[in-house]
A and B are shown apart, each in its own frame.
Chain A
Amino acid sequence: MPNSASLNKSPGLDKWVSIAKDGRVLIHTGKVDIGQRISTALSLIAAEELDVDLSRIDIARTETGVDPDEGITSGSNSMEEAGNAVRAASATARRHLLSLAADSLGVDVSTLEISDGLIQSRGTNLSVTYEELAGDQMFGIDVDPDAPVKDPTSYDVIGKPTVTRGLTEIVTGQPHFVQDMKMPGMLHARIVRPPHYKARLKSLDDAAAKRITDSGCEVVRDGSFVAVACDEEFTAVEAAERLFETSDWDLSDGLESQDIYERLVINERVSLPVVEGVPQKEAVQPIASAPGDAAATLKARYEKPYLMHGSIGPSAAAALAEGDKLTVWSHSQGVYVLRASLSEALGMETEKLTIIHVPGSGCYGHNGADDAAVDAALIALAIPGKPILLKWTREDEHAWEPYASCMAMDLTASVDGDGKVIAWSQDTYSDTYGMRPRPEPGGAGPARLLPMQYREDAVTPLVPQPNMARHSGLHRNLDPLYIFENKRLVKNLVRDLPLRTSALRTLGAFANVFAIESFVDELADEVEIDPVTFRLNHLEDQRAKDVLQAAADKIGWNDPVPEGRGRGIAFAQYKNIQAYAAVAVELEVNDKAEVVMHRVALAGDAGQIVDLAGVTAQYEGGFLQAASWTLYEEVTFDQTGITSRDWETYPILRFDNIPEIETVMIDRPDERFLGAGEAVSGPTAGAIANAIHMATGLRLRRMPFTPDAIRAAAMQ
């Protein structure tokens, strides 16, 4: 297997696999299940390579200091990192147990067969179980990244339908989420948030605070960080509201009302050329004039507003401070980086801090989970010895989570007489996607944690620096997979934009692919070439072509489009190295100017498929979430603060606009796993824009495509 960061950090087999006395196998991982079914996929891999029945495999919840540090569960990397590590660990364990069995039974290893953890020597009645061999011993060896793994043609488990781990508990309402935690003596806590980012607390109303403490609740205040903690949850809800209503805030000038799309291109920025997906520390070249053989040259700007993660369950965390130790239960996607960041922020040694992952509501990136963990930690430290369960309110989540940045993409391209792209330029403008918790040189790390910004002790300000990694941050998928000549790609990290931003599913790829795939259609239209043909003409990678063709075939690309409808298609390979996705959409724009989606075909290639239903769900769910972003969503704000504060002021997709979706996954059993969780999002926006164009003749270049936006475009 390729070099593994996961195994380099945690080489010992005991970090990954343990066998209990009852024969159950416990798999440890640093990647957490956020609804993407990674625990299901890992259990399938472990069952397959260990020859243990799936029902006897457990996946440990991730705890700092115990389980492997695999960084953050993000970037669609879990199968490539944890999947490969667990596969190598399971294969190493199997080989080791076979060797122990041969010694123990006094037979040659070649005579041994395994069935559900029972090792038997062929032709004899000699047998021994995994648990007997493991006994009280640890493995005491390292994972061999090259331990022989099974040939996919001999798989017993992988490829067969399976039930999602944890789903029965979810569907029957059993405790599952951090929000469901219960501990003896636990207090329920709520935060009293400022009216907006720039507001600072002048004073709490003493009488109101006294009534709250007299009722048995605790009030925690540190600067403008204010929380209440009570025995009864609803008492805490009411107390926090009462404290807010009676408190006095310095509102300063509020948030500055501004046209974000104008600011994106006029504010101070760091501009870097991007080559092969990698930013270069070089000067940006101006756009060259159109080549002499250009038959047509087009220019267009595409725009995307601020988007929120919008998890259905507001973020939450539990925390308990005992002696000099602090334990936090969190749905953070990166418990180790959160621990490092908390350690820096609180001045506590990492050994004194334990963070345990417990599932939360779907996150899709850096939502409020980490901030809630810090909130809970601060409250627990102020009320030592008492377990705290802190929940954000809906308004907290809507108004305070770190959003995906607004973005603008300026494209210019020329095609020759044969319809070949002979010059391509794209400038992408965006705020940062990289504000997840982590320590920073110079002590600016705590600025990444929302509550730290409101404590009495000011934090060192943090000025985000451009992410220089390949296909990261705002330049993810800025570089198209298409073979275009004379590419000029520029990443522009824009300063002084008004809202707090960080990682949302796909980072910059959603908007970059939306722009590329819309513009490709505009070019194809200009030279009167079918959009599928135009794309195929510019692709060399056969797997890419296969995926695009599969989506086109499934939607019936060459069949007549029903009256009143439009069809659109779009394609990308995530980061140009992960899963491939093509999206074809058939929709109509009705007489209320609403986009009604009718039929969707998704095609994908995520390498070797372990859990087909899981991968399919990632494609389907990714499509529906991205369709929601594209059609409905936009974070709004004015001088008073964020004005998207609930589901009425930030509408999302509902059951009335769920199309029929057919998904074709091309299995590549001999190819490596390719992360699939984010592949489909960008193509979704492109396909919808292209289908609206076919249906109405309108080219929409600014999301969301609401009835107002469609009517405005029609007026022009």
Chain B
Amino acid sequence: MANISLKVNGKMHEVDCDPATPLIYILRNQLDLVGAKLGCGLEQCGACAVIVDGEQVLSCVRAASEFEGSEITTVEGLATGGKPSALQQAFIEEGAAQCGYCTAGLVVAATALLEKNPKPDDAEVREALHEHLCRCGSHLRVLKAIDRVVQGGSNNA
């Protein structure tokens, strides 16, 4: 066991854990941030995505200790004062989920994309979501939700 420091959603946390523990288990079980989902544990489906220093990162394999000193943002950290972000609001309005298990990962991936590139074209959006799987077939609504924010001109994704 070791003590590691993680900065998540702007807050520092001291966590006592096996340093090999993948980040997702720390987020979900020790920090009570269950937005990132365990989907495969193989970095194959995208359900566990979080933002680390502005980049989308899958959290189900890499050890939590690798993320010391980084800024980690989870889907819970995207809302401000309980108000969903513009992108989250667009997901809600487009009904861009069915069962919703993959949704947080998609919101995170699209947020990371729009922060770097507020006006992506269709191909760039699809490329950014390529490693994310959705089984219910909500893909088109996800694309529409992202497009709604892109067209809205808001870079406050």
Contacts and interface: CB of A to CB of B under 8 A. Distances in A.
Tell whether A and B belong to one assembly.
yes
Interface of A: 34-37, 163-164, 166-168, 170-177, 179-180, 182, 188, 232-235, 237, 309-314, 359-364, 391, 393-394, 613-614, 617, 620-625, 628, 646-648, 652-656, 658, 660-661
Given A312-B39, A391-B38, A625-B135, A171 B130 contact: no
Given A167-B92, A314-B39, A617-B138, A655 B130 contact: yes
A661 B41 CA distance: 32
A167 B84 contact: no
Given A168-B84, A172-B35, A174-B76, 20 more contacts: A173-B75, A173-B104, A177-B101, A234-B22, A312-B37, A312-B45, A312-B102, A312-B135, A359-B99, A361-B135, A394-B39, A394-B44, A620-B140, A621-B136, A652-B133, A652-B135, A653-B137, A653-B139, A658-B126, A658-B139
B7 interface: no
B30 to A, nearest CB: 9
Nearest to B102: A312
Contacts of A647: 40, 42, 44-45, 133
Contacts of B78: 172
A168 B133 CA distance: 20
A364 B22 contact: no
Given A170-B103, A362-B135, A654-B130, A163 B41 contact: no
B18 interface: yes
A313 B105 CA distance: 12
Interface residues of B, number: 60
Interface in B29-80: 29, 32-42, 44-45, 47, 74-76, 78-79
B137 A173 contact: no
- Report which residue of A166, A237, A614 has the largest number of chain B beta carbons within 10 angstroms of its beta carbon: A237
B18 A36 contact: no
Contacts of A176: 100
Interface string B110-151: 000000000000000111011011111111111100000000
Contacts of B45: 312, 394, 647
Contacts of B35: 172-174
Contacts of B139: 624, 653, 655, 658
Contacts of B34: 173-175, 179-180
19 contacts: A167-B95, A170-B97, A171-B91, A171-B92, A172-B88, A173-B74, A176-B100, A179-B34, A312-B134, A314-B38, A362-B136, A617-B98, A621-B137, A622-B137, A625-B135, A654-B130, A654-B133, A655-B143, A660-B140
Q: Give the top 9 A-B pairs by smallest Cβ distance, nearest first.
A: A173-B35, A624-B137, A621-B137, A35-B98, A362-B99, A35-B99, A170-B100, A173-B75, A361-B101
Contacts of B8: none
Contacts of B98: 35-37, 362, 617, 621
A173 B33 contact: yes
B92 A620 contact: no
Contacts of B88: 171-172
Contacts of A182: 32
Given A167-B100, A168-B84, A393 B41 contact: yes
A168 B74 contact: no
A623 B98 CA distance: 14
A173 B36 contact: yes
A167 B97 contact: yes
Contacts of A625: 135-137
A371 B42 CA distance: 23
Nearest to B30: A232
Nearest to B41: A394
Contacts of A656: 126-127, 130
A258 to B, nearest CB: 29
B47 A313 contact: yes
Nearest to B98: A35
A361 B96 CA distance: 15
A306 B96 CA distance: 29
A620 B96 CA distance: 11
A176 B100 CA distance: 9
A310 B136 CA distance: 10
Contacts of A310: 135
B21 interface: yes
The residue among B99, B138, B140 with the most chain A CB atoms within 10 A of its own CB is B99
Interface of B: 17-18, 20-22, 25, 28-29, 32-42, 44-45, 47, 74-76, 78-79, 84, 88, 91-93, 95-104, 107, 125-127, 129-130, 132-143
A661 B141 CA distance: 10
A648 B44 contact: yes
B136 A655 contact: no
A625 B126 CA distance: 18
A624 B140 contact: yes
A682 B94 CA distance: 26
Contacts of B79: 172
B117 to A, nearest CB: 16
A312 to B, nearest CB: 5
A163 B42 contact: no
Given A35-B136, A655-B130, A171 B97 contact: yes
B38 A179 contact: yes
Given A172-B75, A394-B42, A313 B95 contact: no
A648 B138 CA distance: 21
A622 B136 CA distance: 7
B81 to A, nearest CB: 12
Contact of B42 (A237, A614, A646): A646
Interface centre among B20, B79, B133 (most CB of A within 10 A): B133
Contact of B107 (A166, A171, A361, A391): A171
Contacts of A180: 28, 34
Nearest to B36: A173
Contacts of A622: 137
Given A171-B97, A624-B139, A646-B42, A233 B37 contact: no
Contacts of B38: 179, 313-314, 391
B135 A364 contact: yes
A232 B22 CA distance: 12
Contact of A313 (B18, B101, B130): B101
A700 to B, nearest CB: 22
A232 B97 contact: no
Given A234-B25, A313-B39, A647-B45, A623 B137 contact: yes
A362 to B, nearest CB: 3
Contacts of B20: 234
Nearest to B108: A173
Nearest to B89: A171
A235 B129 CA distance: 31
A438 B32 CA distance: 37
Contacts of A312: 37, 39, 45, 47, 99, 101-102, 133-135
A143 B41 CA distance: 48
Nearest to A659: B140
A309 B37 CA distance: 18
B118 to A, nearest CB: 19
Contacts of A313: 37-39, 47, 99, 101
A394 B40 CA distance: 5
Nearest to A361: B101
Nearest to A661: B140
Contacts of A648: 44
A168 B132 contact: no
A617 B95 contact: yes
Nearest to B134: A312
Contacts of B132: 655
Nearest to B77: A173
Contacts of B135: 309-312, 361-362, 364, 625, 652
Contacts of A237: 41
A660 B102 CA distance: 21
B95 to A, nearest CB: 5
Nearest to B91: A171
